[in-house]
Each structure stands twice: as C-alpha cells, then as structure tokens.
Amino acid sequence: MNFDHILIRYGEMALKGKNRRSFEQKLQRNLIRKLKAYPATKIKKTKDRMYVLLNGEDPHEVMEICRKVFGIHSLSFAVKVEKSEEQLKEAVLLAFNDAKGARTFKISAKRSDKEFPIPSQELNPLLGGHILQNTEGVTVDVHHPDVEIKVEVRNDAAYITAQDYPGAGGLPVGTTGQSLLMLSGGIDSPVAGYLTMKRGVDLEAIHFHSPPYTSERSKQKVIDLAEQLSNYGNSIKVHVVPFTEIQQKIAREMPEGYSMTITRRMMMRLSEKLADQRGILSLTTGESLGQVASQTMESMSAINDVTNYPIIRPLVAMDKLEIIDVSRKIDTYGISIRPYEDCCTVFVPKAPKTKPTKENANYYESSVDFSQDLDKALAETYTIELQDGKRLHQEDEFKDLF
Ligand SMILES: Nc1ncnc2c1ncn2[C@@H]1O[C@H](COP(=O)(O)OP(=O)(O)OP(=O)(O)O)[C@@H](O)[C@H]1O
C-alpha cells in the first residue's frame, strides 16, 4: 500500500472573499505546471480544498515540489482504501511510519457511513492498537500527539490522512502582478525576490554586468541564482544589461565620493525604463536599512529620487542573519557566496558618501549627458529565461524584444 493523493490546505488565500475563485484557479494552474514532469498526476478541487491525485507517481517527489508552491498552508499524504478492518489497519500504519521520528500519536476516526459496522469510538483503539503492536517505544497522546492520523469512513471508501507538512505559505504566484527584481550576485537580492514571489508576484530580473571588470563566472552566478528562484514561481527572464561604459564614464567624470550613489541612480533609471517597456509596474531590490553605505536613509533617498516607480524592499527591516537563514532555506546561499566580483564592488570608491544629497547628485549629473549611454545599454540588453530550475532559452532569442 502507498499514498495515492496529497491533500492541500490553503492559508491566507482562504480569506480572500470574492477573489478566492481566481486565487484557487491560479494555484491549480501553478501546480499543474510544476508537476509537468509527473504526467499521471491530476489536481482536483473541492469546496475548500485541493487534492493532487498521484496515480502511481512517487508521493515524496511530488510532495517536495508541492511544498515549494506559494499559496499552500499545509499538505498531507492521504490514501483511499476499501472499508475493511485490514485495509484500515495497513493504512494507519503507513501514515504513522511517514511521520519520521514521531513517538506519540492520536487516531481521530469519523464514520459518516453508518452502515460500516465499527463505530468511531471503537475504531480509535482498534487502529491505535495496531500501530502500538507494530512499533516500539511509541505511545498514544490524545492532547499533544507528534502526529494525528485522521480516518474518515465515508460511503464510497475510507480516507486516511497522515501528518501535516508545512507549505510555502503566501499567495499563488501571478495573483498580485509583476515586479522587476534588481538581481546582483549577493545574498540579499535573491532573498528579496523569493519573498516578493511569496506575496504572489511574478518576477522578471535585471542584472548589470560590467565585463571585463566582472567575469563570465560572475554573470553565471546570477543566472544560477535566478535558476534556483525559478523553482518557486513561474519562469524568470533575466535581462542582462551591459554596464561597463556607464560605470567607466561615472568613474571618469563624477566626483569619487558620489560615484556609488550615481551608479545606483543609473541602475534605477535603467530598471525603470526596462520595466516600463515590459509593462511591469514595480521594482524589487535587496536593500536593507543600514547595512552598507548605499543603504543609509540619505542614500536611499538620493537613489530613489530618480524614479516614481514603487520599489518593493522586502528586506528593509530584516537582520543580516535572518536574511542568511532564508537564503539557506531556499538554497541560494551557496551560490551567493561564490567569490566572484559584482560591478559595484569593482568600482567601489575608497570613501563613498554615506550621506549623499539628491541636490548634489542632480548637480553633478547635470554637467554630463548620460541619456545616450542609457539608451545604448538598453539596446544591447539581452535576455535569458529560466524555468523550474533550468535554462529555457538562449540569449539572443529575445534580442528583438528591445
Ligand atoms: N549588479 C547589479 N545588478 C542588479 N541589481 C543590483 C546590482 N548590484 C546591486 N543591485 C541591487 O541593489 C541592491 C543593493 O545593493 P548593495 O550592493 O547596496 O547591497 P547588498 O547588501 O550587497 O545587496 P546584495 O546582497 O543583493 O548584492 C541589491 O540588493 C540589488 O537589488
């Protein structure tokens, strides 16, 4: 005997009133897409739940994928069996054994089929006794069990549900619009992307690359990060912007103390232009208050001054250690700490202004025309697409988008 379906419980989505139907449909579509490699699976919706029918696919592999899909509060394996004592016993033991390390359990049986000869009060000790006989060092705890096994004897069959696995939470990706993630090779921006997706946002990413100062390997690192992020949402297009000439011009013609602020302002301008071309309504960054010179209140104000776009900063109130915890959980940490330089670290001034003003930045920029450089960088931008942890398209397939 093995589990034949996975029960999916919604979280916050259940609160969404009138929009609930469209949230459910999005979740269903996202699940179907993520489970493409398991073609026998089917998704079934009932009034307040969803089920993945496994039809012989590996339960644990499918569970791993479902646990990364946003919009799910918790999941459990379940098995449908004939209404016989033998089958019920086998099924509860299967459910108990799935809860690795559980030392205590509780059976909660319900019998809606009153024709079934064993009443619920008798089912609990009967099935519990079977688990006790077939395990060692395990006890029943009806108040705080490690695992609660639910048994429902219905008219058509009996259903046994095993332990709860926590889901990824949040809202189904694609229900709250799109954002352009400014993705560096660092620890923070991939985490910001993950948390933004968790709020139901579909991501595209922009990366500023400065060859030969930054290497192919540093670009590859960013692609690997986006690839990893694509496991959690829809496909992610990474737009790679050649940024060398702009950075050289800043280094040549702007006061050194302001070069970092002005570099960021150019990145913002380019990101806004690209988002606008793509019909995307917000930007997302990995900025967190107070971490580095570019993230003081004054810096953020001077950088933000060049755009009216809403900027999502999911990390703004998080500690570095909290950010690292998330990056470990989502498997981006190992990629982020590869030692390849980012364009900002290559050109970093010895003493960046920690309290720049927008007035000064505007004044310095007004003496040099950057508009053609920005247009050129955008015209030479190319795109790579990642889906479900794999690269989808070659770079030049998207050239005609710009
Ligand atoms: N080369 C880049 N391409 C795209 N976005 C970038 C790049 N460099 C920085 N950013 C954006 O600016 C934000 C702030 O960068 P900064 O270098 O100040 O901070 P950080 O803490 O090092 O961030 P991260 O860990 O994400 O690199 C990043 O989180 C990212 O969103």
ipTM of the predicted structure? 0.97
Q: Mean pLDDT, to the nearest integer, of 238-256?
A: 95
Closest C-alpha residue for ligand 1 atom 21? 188
Amino acid at 378: L
> What was the pLDDT predicted at 351?
75
Distance CA 325, CA 304 (A): 28
Q: Are residues 105 and 224 in the same domain?
A: no
Q: Whose CA is nearest to atom 28 of ligand 1?
A: 286
Neighbour count for residue 1 (Cβ, 10 Å): 11
In a domain, 229, yes or no: yes
pLDDT at 399 over 60: no
pLDDT, mean over the chain = 91
| pLDDT at residue 225 greater than cutoff 70 | yes
Q: Is the pLDDT of residue 336 over 60?
A: yes
Same-domain status, 117 and 219: no
- Do residues 358 and 382 both lie within one domain? yes
> Is residue 244 lining ligand 1, measured as CB closer than 6 Å?
no
Do 126 and 194 belong together in one domain? no
Structure tokens at 322: 């909290």
Q: For residue 292, give the ligand 1 atom closest to its CA.
A: 18
What are the φ and ψ backbone dihedral angles of 103, each rounded to 5 degrees?
-110, -20
Residue 203 lies in a domain: yes
pLDDT greater than 70 at residue 227: yes
Q: Residue 402: its pLDDT value, please?
A: 47
Which pLDDT score is estimated for 353? 77
- For residues 134 and 80, membership in a common domain is answered with yes
Last residue of a domain, one of 144, 166, 188: 166
Alpha-carbon separation of residue 88 from 82, 158, 284 (angstroms): 8, 8, 51
Are 127 and 228 members of one domain?
no
Which residues constitute the domain of residue 95?
5-166
Tell me, using a 6 A CB cutoff, whether residue 182 lines ligand 1.
yes
C-beta 323 within 6 A of ligand 1: no
263 and 150 inside one domain: no
Would you state the structure tokens that stand for residue 278, as one six-digit string? 């793509």
349 and 203, same domain (yes or no): yes
Identify the band that residue 15 occupies on the pLDDT scale cut at 50, 70 and 90: low
* pLDDT classification of 291: cutoffs 50, 70, 90: low
- Does residue 171 form part of some domain? no
Do 275 and 360 lie in a common domain?
Answer: yes
What whole-number distance in Å separates Cα of residue 167 and Cα of residue 169? 5
Whole-number Å distance, alpha carbon 117 to ligand 1 midpoint, is 65
What is the model's pLDDT at position 224? 96
Most informative mutation of 179, 180, 181, 182 for ligand 1 (most atoms within 8 A of CB): 182
Rounded percentage of the chain residues whose pLDDT exceeds 70: 94
* H or E element, residue 267: helix 256-278
Is the shortest distance between the CB of 189 and ligand 1 below 6 Å? yes
Q: How many domains would you assign to the chain?
A: 2
Quick: pLDDT tens for 301-315: 999 999 999 999 999
Q: Is 223 within a domain? A: yes
Q: Residues 106-125: what's their mean pLDDT?
A: 90
Check pocket membership of 291 for ligand 1, CB cut-off 6 A: yes
Residue nearest to atom 22 of ligand 1 (CA): 186
pLDDT tens for residues 127-152?
999 999 999 999 999 999 999 999 99
Instruction: With respect to residue 236, please indicate whether it lies within any of the assigned structural domains.
Output: yes
Q: Which of 109, 133, 166 is the last residue of a domain?
A: 166
CA distance 8 to 58: 17
pLDDT band at 22 (very low <50, low <70, confident <90, very high): confident
Residue closest by Cα to atom 19 of ligand 1 = 287
Q: Is residue 401 part of a domain?
A: no
**What are 85-103's pLDDT values in tens digits?**
999 999 999 999 999 989 9
Quick check: is 150 in a domain?
A: yes
Given this model, what pLDDT does residue 243 score? 96
Q: How far apart are CA 245 and CA 210, in angstroms?
A: 8
Tokens for 34, please give them: 């993520």
What's the whole-model pTM score?
Answer: 0.89
Going from the Cα of 62 to the center of ligand 1, the distance in angstroms, rounded, reads 34
HEC profile of the chain: CCCCEEEEEECHHHHCHHHHHHHHHHHHHHHHHHCCCCCCCEEEECCCCEEEECCCCCHHHHHHHHCCCCCEEEEEEEEEECCCHHHHHHHHHHHHHHCCCCCEEEEEEEECCCCCCCCHHHHHHHHHHHHHHCCCCCEECCCCCCEEEEEEECCCCEEEEEEEEEEEECECCCCCCEEEEECCCCCHHHHHHHHHHHECCEEEEEEEECCCCCCHHHHHHHHHHHHHHCCCCCCEEEEEEECHHHHHHHHHHCCHHHHHHHHHHHHHHHHHHHHHHHCCCCEECCCCCCCCHHHCHHHHHHHHCCCCCCEECCCCCCCHHHHHHHHHHCCCHHHHCCCCCCHHHHCCCCCCCCCCCHHHHHHHHHCCCCHHHHHHHHHCCEEEEEECCEECCCHHHHHHHC
pLDDT digits (tens, 9 = 90+) for 52-72: 999 999 999 999 999 999 999
CATH code, domain carrying 146: 3.30.2130.30
Q: What is the CA radius of gyration of the chain?
A: 26
- 268 with 375, same domain: the answer is yes
Q: Is 344 in the pocket of ligand 1 (CB under 6 A)?
A: yes
Domain-located, residue 220: yes
Of all protein residues, whose CA lies closest to atom 27 belonging to ligand 1? 186
Domain boundary among 106, 141, 166: 166
In the numeric block, the tokens 């970092």 are attached to 260
pLDDT, tens digit, 9 for 90 and up, residues 183-215: 999 999 999 999 999 999 999 999 999 988 888
